[in-house]
Amino acid sequence: MTPDFSPPPAAPQTVLLVDDEPVARLSMSARLKRLGYRVLEAGDGKTGLALLRQERPDLTIVDWMMPEIDGPSLCELVRRDPLLQSSQILLMTGHDQPQQIAEGLARGADDFLSKSASKQEITARVQAGMRAASLVRSLERARDDIQHKQELLERELQSAADYVRSLLPPQGAILPGATVVHAFRPSLGLGGDLFNIVEWGDAAMGLYLLDASGHGVSSALRSASLSTFLRRDSLRHQVGSNDPGAILTEANRCFPMTEDGGYFTIVFTRLDARTRTVTYASAGHGGALLQRADGHILALSQPALPLGFCPDTRYESRVEPLAAGDRLLLFSDGLYEAPGPTKELWGLERLRAAVQRLRPLELERIPEALLDEALEWLGHDLFPDDVAIVAVEVKG
C-alpha cells in the first residue's frame, strides 16, 4: 500500500496561535488569515492545550514568554500526551540566540520563528510546518488503516479457527470399546491441524490426526478438504476399504503437492473392538504413541513420505494388539516442536517422558496436562504452531 502524502483537499488548514500579547497575536493572526489559513487564538498555555485537544489544528504557533505555562513547557506537555504528541509546533521568540533555539528544540518544538522575521520567512516556515503536518497526518492514517486491516485479518483467522473447531469430534465420545478425549489450540496464524473419528459400525472406528503444511486460511481449507475425503461415505466410495494403508495410498493420489509445496502429514488408525487391535498407517507423521496399561510406550510411526510428495507411494498398514487400559495418543508436531526460551525444541523424547509421568492421571486430564507440560517448556502461552492432542483409552 502506498501512503497518501497529499493533504486532504477540502477544508482550509488550521493554525492555532498561542500568545498572551493581544497586539502581537492580532497582527500574526491577520497575516495567517491573509495566507488562507483558518486561525484559532488562545491567550495562555492552558487555553492553548484545551484548543489543541478539541480542534487538533494542523500547526500550532506558540510564544516563548507566557505566564504560567510558557512556550517550551507547553511543548513538553504536548509531547507527553499520546493524543497530541505528533502535533507540529513553531516556537516564537524575540531573542533568537543559538542557545535558546537549542533549548526550545530540545524541549519539543519542531521549528523556530523569530518575532522579527520577515513576512516571507513567516510564510515559508508556516508552509514548511504544514508540509510536515500533512506528512505526519497521512502516516497516521496509513498506520490506522494497517491496524484496521490487521484486525480484519485476525478476525478472519479466528472465524476459520472456529470453523475447524466445529469439525472436531465431541469431547469424551464413547465409541465401541474406547473413550476419546482431545485438546486443540489453534495458533494465532492458524496451522492446519485437524483430527476426527470415522465411525464404522459396532466394532470398529477410524481415528486420524492430520497437519497441513504451512499456515493460515489456505492450510485450514486444505485440511478441511482432506477431512471431507476421510468421511465414512466418501471413503466407502473412493477407497472401498477401511484399511489405513489403503486409505492413505488413495489420499496421496488425490492430494498431490500444491505449487507452493503444500502437503499433509497424517496418521490414520483403525481400532477394532472385536479383534482388539489397532491398525495404523502414517505418512510422515511423527506424533503417535501407544502406551500399554503397564506404562510401556511404543511409537506408532514408520518412515514414510508425507501425502503429496510422490504420487505412486504405497502406504502399508501395521497392526498392534490392544488390551484394556492401553492408551493411544496422537499429536501434531506443534506440541513437541514447541521452542523453549533458548529456541531448543521440547522434542519427542521429553514428550514421551511426560506421557510416562502422567500415566497415573485419568484419561480425561491427559490432553490438558500434556499441554501444560509443553507450555512450561515454551515459557509463555502462545504456541507458534497449532497444537492438537487426541487420547484414547481401551475399555475392559
Partner 1 sequence: MHITERPVPNGVVLDINGDLTYANRERFKTAVSALQQRGCRHMLLNMAEVRFVDSSGLGMLALVSQNFKLNDARVSIVKPQSYVREIMGLANLPKLIPIYDSEQDALSGRAHAA
* Chain positions contacting partner 1, by CB under 8 A: 211, 213-215, 257, 260-263, 265, 284-286, 301, 303-306, 308-310, 333, 337, 343, 345, 347, 385
Q: Considering the complex, what minimum distance in angstroms separates the CB of residue 168 from partner 1?
A: 20
The order of strands in the sheet holding 111-114 is 38-42, 14-18, 59-63, 88-93, 111-114
Min dist CB 228 to partner 1, Å, is 21
Min dist CB 332 to partner 1, Å, is: 9
Task: Give the contacts of 79 (CB within 8 A, at least 6 positions apart).
Answer: 85, 108
Judged by beta carbon, residue 272 or residue 333, the one nearer partner 1 is: 333
Of 352, 374, 238, nearest to 299 by C-alpha is: 352
**Nearer CB in complex with partner 1: 153/310:** 310
DSSP secondary structure, 202-252, as one string? TTEEEEEEEEESS-SHHHHHHHHHHHHHTSHHHHHHHT----HHHHHHHHH
H/E stretch holding 298: strand 297-299
Q: Kindly state the smallest distance separating residue 218's Cβ from partner 1, in Å.
A: 12
DSSP 105-160: HHTT-SEEEETT--HHHHHHHHHHHHHHHHHHHHHHHHHHHHHHHHHHHHHHHHHH
Q: How far is the CB of 42 from partner 1 (least distance, A)?
A: 51
* Inter-residue contact 185 to 371 (CB < 8 Å): yes
Nearer Cβ to partner 1, position 39 or 267? 267
Q: Which is nearer to partner 1, 111 or 211 (CB)?
A: 211
Q: Where are the alpha helices (DSSP H) in the chain?
A: 22-34, 45-55, 71-80, 98-106, 119-167, 217-229, 232-238, 244-254, 333-336, 347-357, 366-378
Instruction: For the CB of residue 52, give the shortest distance to partner 1 in the complex, in Å.
Output: 43
Question: Would you say 26 or 153 has its CB closer to partner 1?
Answer: 153
The residue (of 343 and 380) whose beta carbon lies closer to partner 1 is 343
Contact 230, 238 (CB under 8 A): no
Give the shortest CB-242-to-partner 1 separation in angstroms: 24
For residue 166, the minimal CB distance to partner 1 (Å) is 24
We find the least distance from the C-beta atom of residue 286 to partner 1, in angstroms, to be 5
43 vs 347, which CB is nearer to partner 1? 347
CA–CA separation, 191 and 213 (whole Å):
7
What is the Cα–Cα distance from 82 to 89, expressed in whole angstroms? 15
Closer Cβ to partner 1, 349 or 381, answer by number: 349
Task: Output phi, psi for 224, to 5 deg.
Answer: -60, -35
Nearest to partner 1 of 104, 306 (CB atom): 306
Question: What CA–CA distance (Å, rounded) separates 164 from 156?
Answer: 12
What are φ and ψ of residue 193, in 5° steps?
-80, 145
